[in-house]
Amino acid sequence: MAKSGSARGVRLVCPKCATKFTVVAFVSQTIDAVEYWKARAEEHDCEAHAKLMDSMKNSEGIKNPLKASKAAARGKK
Ligand SMILES: [Zn+2]
């Protein structure tokens, strides 16, 4: 099951802004996974995340983005 070098999704918490995010990466068993994930957590782009959160707040008018895009697709036909 645990093939070395297989893709894994790991939940990380940014040490700077405490955002939980998922990183998918190919991890071989030859590296120190704990140190690797710690380094990846520290790579979190806090500024980009903050901007994303802002833009989500700004689009609060769209309550269900999925439904809205479906409706838009329907309207094209
Ligand atoms: Zn962060």
76, 53 contact by CB (below 8 A): no
Cα-Cα-Cα-Cα torsion 38, 40, 46, 52, nearest 10 degrees, comes to -130
Compute the distance from residue 15 Cα to the ligand 1 centre, in Å: 7
Compute the distance from residue 43 Cα to the ligand 1 centre, in Å: 8
* 3-class DSSP assignment, residue 40: helix
Compute the distance from residue 57 Cα to the ligand 1 centre, in Å: 18
Compute the distance from residue 24 Cα to the ligand 1 centre, in Å: 17
Cα separations in angstroms, 67 against 28, 50, 64, 75: 40, 25, 5, 12
pLDDT at site 63 = 61
Compute the distance from residue 59 Cα to the ligand 1 centre, in Å: 22
pLDDT tens-digit map of 31-72: 788 888 899 999 999 999 999 999 988 876 556 666 667 767
Beta-bridge partner residues of 26: 7
Q: Which residue has the higher pLDDT, 15 or 65?
A: 15
- Tell me the average pLDDT across 4-13: 81
Q: Is the pLDDT of residue 77 over 80?
A: no
